[in-house]
């Protein structure tokens, strides 16, 4: 699933700032100086522009646009805190562009994100405007004894779709083994559903409901190691997704009185539409999904289709079997007028099938669009290891929403590459959506997390896979371009490792995607040994295929491979909100000799990370910063800058030097 990308436009002299309006207010003697500042901005000499504005602003301290221009110039240097101060001054001086609030108010930023996602959530001002923690969050997200006492190994799920009433009916037989003596277990199903039957061995069970939790009392102690099964029958009207897949639920798209139905429920919870042990720490080893749809429709789900049967009353049953462990949120169903075409992927181990399910009107377009699939899979097999679900094959389904990594039945919307959300760094032959969602078969589906707090592993590795795809397919300069595009979308709202046991909404703002990938890029630059770094990533995957992992697992894995403790680095990028800040100062003498002073701040004493400096617009030099002051000297310097996501030449960036960070300057 793709994160929310809020792209802020730092336009200079365009849109928000009118150079002509400012110039008309200046005294005649100041217009030349002002034009020099504008010229510096146009040629991206932001240091010179800021120095000029520093001299210019005192005479026009009530002009909010001037503070805004200086803030924009600071942003281009990644001097975020300096820019924030200027934006506050701009607003106080009458600058009225509303979007300035994105930079100066976390409450406003989070509120706008929630509004864009159509979420109504209370915010906690004492917790950096995170969502308020409510009882239902802990019931869904916490591992209590009623959950840890049993392990689900199989589901037999049946779901009947009733499109005219936008409702569903179903049943689920849950097979589990007790891991501790217990009398009570917790199964989950949203309270909007009526439970019509809940039985064990044909006998009714006593239960209570608390929000989404169903607490089942067996009336006796079930000893550890016992194999049990219960069956729940239910019915109700699912949540309609306000903005899928980020704010999930069912989607009932309709065209010419024909339905295209899908569901996305990551973070919302699989119990929003089917009863299960709705916690990421417990994946069934396999499962059956029976999808019942009206005559004339196709029913698509995960795994392989085993049978199609007429069950009467105008309905067909499509029985799908998943032969691998699967996350509950990855279990999915689609109903539509699908046509199927397929191809085979061949590797050293043999062949497996790739199936596409598309609407008839898009068949020709889809055949052309999906010519990229085998390329993507091949690159990921090389990078990480063999596709993890060979027996079930690969499946991509035309969904009525953007995209979601449903295991073996990936949702691909986006109008076959024509979506407004399309990334700006791909050629027309490759679409980020196929690349990103296929990457999740390795990261998120095969290597999975046990708590939403660690969702950066799914999305950070998934997004970084886009970097690696670009590098393998187009070369290292394109890797830099992808990284720069990614860096520009980081919001630094909260730490990317979330809060545990509360079903934390770590997706909000997209930092688990963008900053998670930036962290991996920065780690690669620090290690500065590409073969070692890529082996670290591949072996982390191979070591943990079909397993649950945590953030600590990855940190330990890196330490074991490198024999180096990167705790300070991981703490900064995973557990703190803001990135490291490079404190910079410089002087250029009369002979054009540059003295550049630098050190990392807001970090521990052992922190070390590279960056690069560009001299005379043509030579890029890798420097390694530490928390202690260092000096770089260079002769015959006409200009210099620190390449970042706003200004760089991808062909000139040295290997392992393009990192994500903030700066601060003494002017």
How many CA atoms does the CB half-sphere of 393 hold within 13 Å? 20
State the pLDDT confidence band at 429, using cuts at 50, 70 and 90: confident
The first and second tokens of residue 147, run together, are: 């959950």
How large is the average pLDDT for residues 276-286?
98
How is 460-511 classified by DSSP, letter by letter? HHHHHHHHHHHHHHH-HHHHHHHHHHHHTT----S-SS--TTTT--TTTTSH
How large is the average pLDDT for residues 299-315?
98
Quick check: 322 and 306 in contact, CB under 8 A? no
Quick check: 229 and 170 in contact, CB under 8 A? no
Q: Per residue in 459-501, pLDDT tens?
A: 999 999 999 999 999 999 999 999 999 999 999 999 999 999 9
Q: Which DSSP state fits 256?
A: T
pLDDT of residue 17: 46
> Could you give the CA distance from residue 33 to residue 254 in angstroms, rounded to a whole number?
60
pLDDT of residue 21: 62
The first and second tokens of residue 72, run together, are: 């924009």
Q: What percentage of the chain has pLDDT greater than the value 90?
A: 89
> In 543-564, which positions are buried (b, 16+ CB within 10 angstroms) versus exposed (e)?
ebbeebbbbebbbebbeebbee
pLDDT of residue 13: 35
Residue ranges and CATH numbers for the domains of the chain are 19-115 (1.25.40.10), 145-337 (2.60.40.1730), 443-667 (1.10.390.10)
How large is the average pLDDT for residues 416-428?
80
pLDDT of residue 29: 72
Residue 19, pLDDT > 70, answer: no
The first and second tokens of residue 571, run together, are: 């703490």
> Could you give the CA distance from residue 650 to residue 604 in angstroms, rounded to a whole number?
31
pLDDT of residue 4: 35
Looking at per-residue pLDDT, the higher value among 277 and 28 belongs to: 277
pLDDT of residue 97: 84
> Could you give the CA distance from residue 612 to residue 178 in angstroms, rounded to a whole number?
56
Helix (H, G, I), strand (E, B) or coil at 85: helix
> Could you give the CA distance from residue 261 to residue 241 in angstroms, rounded to a whole number?
11
**pTM check: above 0.75:** yes
Q: Per residue in 322-359, pLDDT tens?
A: 999 999 999 999 999 999 999 999 999 999 999 999 99
Residue 419, pLDDT > 80, answer: no
> Could you give the CA distance from residue 526 to residue 530 in angstroms, rounded to a whole number?
10
Which stretch of DSSP H or E encloses residue 249? strand 249-255
How large is the average pLDDT for residues 528-545?
98
Q: Per residue in 573-604, pLDDT tens?
A: 999 999 999 999 999 999 999 999 999 999 99
Residue 145, pLDDT > 90, answer: yes
Looking at per-residue pLDDT, the higher value among 15 and 622 belongs to: 622
Give the phi and the psi of residue 593 in degrees, each rounded to 5. -90, 125
Residue 14, pLDDT > 70, answer: no
> Could you give the CA distance from residue 302 to residue 331 in angstroms, rounded to a whole number?
7
pLDDT of residue 98: 84
* CA–centroid distance for 600 within its chain: 27
Which stretch of DSSP H or E encloses residue 49? helix 46-56
State the pLDDT confidence band at 9, using cuts at 50, 70 and 90: very low
Q: Per residue in 75-106, pLDDT tens?
A: 999 999 999 999 999 999 999 888 899 999 99
């Amino acid at each position: 699933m793709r994160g929310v990308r809020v792209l802020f436009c730092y336009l200079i002299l365009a849109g928000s700032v009118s150079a002509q309006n400012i110039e008309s207010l200046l005294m005649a003697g100041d217009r030349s100086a002002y034009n020099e500042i504008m010229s510096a901005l146009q040629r991206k000499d932001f240091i010179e522009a800021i120095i000029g504005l520093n001299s210019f602003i005192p005479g026009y301290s009530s002009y909010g646009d001037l503070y805004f221009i200086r803030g924009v110039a600071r942003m281009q240097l990644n001097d975020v805190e300096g820019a924030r101060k200027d934006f506050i001054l701009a607003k106080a001086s009458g600058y009225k562009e509303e979007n300035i609030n994105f930079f100066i108010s976390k409450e406003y930023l989070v509120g706008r994100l929630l509004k864009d996602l159509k979420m109504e959530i209370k915010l906690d001002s004492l917790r950096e405007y995170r969502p308020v923690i409510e009882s239902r969050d802990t019931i869904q997200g916490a591992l209590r004894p009623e959950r840890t006492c049993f392990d689900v190994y199989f589901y037999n799920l049946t779901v009947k779709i009733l499109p005219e009433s936008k409702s569903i009916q179903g049943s689920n037989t849950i097979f589990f083994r007790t891991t501790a003596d217990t009398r009570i277990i917790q199964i989950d199903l949203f309270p909007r559903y009526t439970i019509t039957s809940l039985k064990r061995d044909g006998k009714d069970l006593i239960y209570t409901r608390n929000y989404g939790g169903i607490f089942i009392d067996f009336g006796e102690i079930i000893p550890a190691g016992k194999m049990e099964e219960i069956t729940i029958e239910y019915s109700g009207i699912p949540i309609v997704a306000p903005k899928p897949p980020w704010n999930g639920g069912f989607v009932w798209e309709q065209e010419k009185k024909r339905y295209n139905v899908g569901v996305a429920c990551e973070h919302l919870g699989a119990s929003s539409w089917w009863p299960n042990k709705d916690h990421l720490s417990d994946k069934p080893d396999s499962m059956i999904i029976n999808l019942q749809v009206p005559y004339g429709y196709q029913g698509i789900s995960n795994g392989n289709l085993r049978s199609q049967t007429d069950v009467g009353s105008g309905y067909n049953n499509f029985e799908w079997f998943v032969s691998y462990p699967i996350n509950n949120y990855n279990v999915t169903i689609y109903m539509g007028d699908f046509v199927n075409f397929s191809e085979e992927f061949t590797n050293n181990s043999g062949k497996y099938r790739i199936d596409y399910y598309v609407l008839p009107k898009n068949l020709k377009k889809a055949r052309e669009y999906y010519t990229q699939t085998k390329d993507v899979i091949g690159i990921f097999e090389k990078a990480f290891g063999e596709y993890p679900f060979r027996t079930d094959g690969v499946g991509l389904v035309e969904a009525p929403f953007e995209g979601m990594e449903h295991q073996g039945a990936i949702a691909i919307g986006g109008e076959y590459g024509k979506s407004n959300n399309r990334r700006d760094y791909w050629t027309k032959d490759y679409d980020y959506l196929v690349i990103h969602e296929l990457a999740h078969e390795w990261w998120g589906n095969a290597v999975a997390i046990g708590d939403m707090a660690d969702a950066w592993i799914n999305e950070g590795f998934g997004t970084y896979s886009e970097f690696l795809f670009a590098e393998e397919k187009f070369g290292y300069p394109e890797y830099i371009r992808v990284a720069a595009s990614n860096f520009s979308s980081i919001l630094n709202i909260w730490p990317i490792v979330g809060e545990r046991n509360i079903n934390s909404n770590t997706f909000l703002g997209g930092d688990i995607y963008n900053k998670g990938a930036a962290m991996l890029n920065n780690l690669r630059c620090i290690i500065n040994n590409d073969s070692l770094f890529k082996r670290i990533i591949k072996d982390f995957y191979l070591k943990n295929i079909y397993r649950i992992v945590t953030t600590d697992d990855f940190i330990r894995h890196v330490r074991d491979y490198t024999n180096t403790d990167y705790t300070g680095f991981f703490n900064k990028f995973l557990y703190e909100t803001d990135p490291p800040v490079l404190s910079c100062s410089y002087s250029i003498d009369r002979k054009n000799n540059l003295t550049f002073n630098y050190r990392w701040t807001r970090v521990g004493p052992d922190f070390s990370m590279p960056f690069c400096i560009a001299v005379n617009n043509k030579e890029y030099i890798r420097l390694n910063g530490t928390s202690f002051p260092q000096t770089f000297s260079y002769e015959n310097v006409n200009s210099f800058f620190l390449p970042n996501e706003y200004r760089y030449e991808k062909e000139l960036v040295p290997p392992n030097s393009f990192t994500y960070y903030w700066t601060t300057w003494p002017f």
